[in-house]
Chains A and B, each alone.
Chain A
């Protein structure tokens, strides 16, 4: 091993294909799906399904290793590095449409991160077998519980061989695609005992068509409008006991309430984030690259030079801005790549996953806002896509953990303080 920035040929080829899809299938319809919020981009989805079936995007759901010659050295895993490259390229095309890409998505990632091997087989098979597109999604947020997942009120009560879910989830990305447009699934975070706080939190897989589960609302959003953001209500929704991810044991109140360690169910959720935060960062940076490229193109048309060979103190204000924006983009991308590589290498990457999310969420926000400014009247008009990218980019500083909650996660780790010591 040595420090190396060369992308493997296989990933590079796939990245180029994703970029082609972005140019040819996404960009031409990008504005349409922005202005027709709840239309579904079926042409894109149907074109992507055969590819995604063969090669699921989320590295976390890589096919399990089959028994091979034990003398053969193990091939290093590259699923997450591949994933961030594909997401970056597709999001350059359209970040909202990227979120409609069929596959397990965050639901699949959660099953892969926290599920048993039996559960992985049971729940993830559909993302390869089905003839028609299938989606997975994650339902965590509730009206009164965002970053503070310990405030989740949706309950799961054991009843013999079942769990019975009751509660309301909001902001479930792709909820409609998973539950109404396909035989998909949603991973629902619920408490087995509200008195236990985070210790009582577990993840449950609910399959499309389960009685008692209903999509009740599709949100109207500032950006990423091609992607549905659903509210899902559970009313005495009965699911098999085996659908709880990870350890099914209900902790004893006295024992865990006193324990400072984060309990298993919650840790499962956090482990999912280690894979999904780099994915969100990559999406943010695809949008940011689109904005930077458009900015460069328009500056060039206007005859405004961007030079590399003058001292910073001789640069024009625009040159300095562009340098600054491109540097932020580069730093964020390399942090993302490193977090994904660590995941592939089996290294603990919680700090790095949060770090790339913090940096990319902010960089994409700043870059797209500044691009609108520097493009002048061309930036603000809906004739070009810059203004849309600014609206699309902002979500990346919010979902999968806001910039603030991710700073908190990093700070607790580096300082060695628990969530009670550093609030």
Chain B
């Protein structure tokens, strides 16, 4: 029956992450952006909250339920705190959840239990390729069967935590179809390049990786011989990214709202003028609408319904919304919005990235 009220368990998760986001992430995000790195303990602190383990069912060593709706709720809170931290914490999740959603029984049993243990698992995925017309369904990285297994060739971009990763999930085209391959870091032919410098999420370590005749065994292919339904997995990524975008947008909206209440010009608060007030009203409407689209698409994932167009719409709308909201938030702050002492310029830089963050998060 129609309901917009999270379950008790979901409310508890949201509450925990809200506190983590407010107390921890909001106290480090600016310095982390300036320094280009996250404080050493932020990933372990985040990990302790059971972000990944609580989504893995008991049979694979976890202590929770795999739910895209719960995932979307969680990611919104993390991104509200800090997008770079949220994406760093999403790197192992993007690996684990892909295994959980599309892996064979053997792959799940072999790889998932470690994600419920105490220490951070250095796992990541690589989908994006460095070219203007990047299309996740038409990858240039290739996987060719060599009888015993597969040979991977190509270049991947924006790979989070690439330098420290022990496990990679590498997406490549096999006969024109996007498939994913589990590749240990030490595999011959896999090399991690220079760190990439981005406009936003500067605290997130991302790098290019090159695959030069990387040989993996046949059982490294996600989902076994049959492979994966990439569209379904991609929808999980679209929903996750859209949820993160909502979190960023909500943060910027709340900051601008507070500013508009207090900033005085000509003897009254700027929020008392319709030109500002109407912008804020529209920001709220767009954020709420975009969030509900994320929830519905996530719910369809959880209920095994067709979701391709819903995920596309949710992602497209969230991308547009987060950019609009952050730009307006900056505009409401005027000159202050452009200054790095205030957080809004950072959020606008982060917002712009969503149109290109394919595969960096998963629910």
Contact = CB atoms under 8 A, between A and B. Distances in A.
Interface in A367-423: 404, 407-408, 410-412, 414-417, 421-423
Contact of A327 (B2, B7, B303, B316): B316
B261 interface: yes
Contacts, number: 155
Size bin of chain A's contact surface: 35 or more
14 contacts: A1-B6, A2-B5, A3-B5, A3-B299, A4-B3, A5-B295, A5-B299, A76-B1, A81-B2, A331-B292, A358-B281, A358-B285, A407-B281, A411-B274
B293 A327 contact: yes
Interface stretch (B22-30, B109-117, B307-315): B307-315
Contacts of A311: 133-136
Interface of B: 1-7, 10, 69, 133-137, 231, 257, 260-261, 268-269, 271-272, 274, 277-278, 280-282, 284-286, 288-290, 292-293, 295-296, 299-300, 303, 308-310, 312-313, 316-317, 355
Contact of A410 (B137, B285, B296): B285
A340 to B, nearest CB: 9
Given A331-B292, A334-B293, 4 more contacts: A2-B7, A311-B133, A330-B296, A417-B277
A312 B316 contact: yes
B3 A341 contact: yes
Contact of A314 (B133, B290, B313): B133
Given A309-B231, A327-B313, A331-B292, A1 B5 contact: yes
Contacts of B272: 415, 417, 421-423
Contacts of A78: 1-2
Contacts of B5: 1-3, 345
Contact of B295 (A3, A76, A326): A3
Given A323-B312, A331-B292, A422-B271, A355 B1 contact: no
Contacts of B286: 331
B277 A408 contact: yes
Contacts of A8: 1-2
| Prevailing SS type, chain A contact patch | helix
A331 B281 contact: no
Given A323-B316, A330-B293, A341-B3, A415 B284 contact: no
Interface string A1-17: 11111111000000000
A324 B313 CA distance: 8
Contacts of A355: 284-285, 288-289
Nearest to B231: A309
Given A338-B4, A355-B288, A326 B136 contact: no
Contacts of A7: 1-2
B308 A411 contact: no
A410 B281 contact: yes
B133 A341 contact: no
A106 interface: no
A208 interface: no
B301 to A, nearest CB: 12
B284 A359 contact: no
Contact of A422 (B6, B277, B309, B310): B277
A97 interface: no
A78 to B, nearest CB: 8
Interface in A304-333: 308-314, 323-324, 326-328, 330-332
A363 to B, nearest CB: 9
A389 B280 CA distance: 30
Interface in A340-364: 341-342, 345, 351-352, 355, 358-359
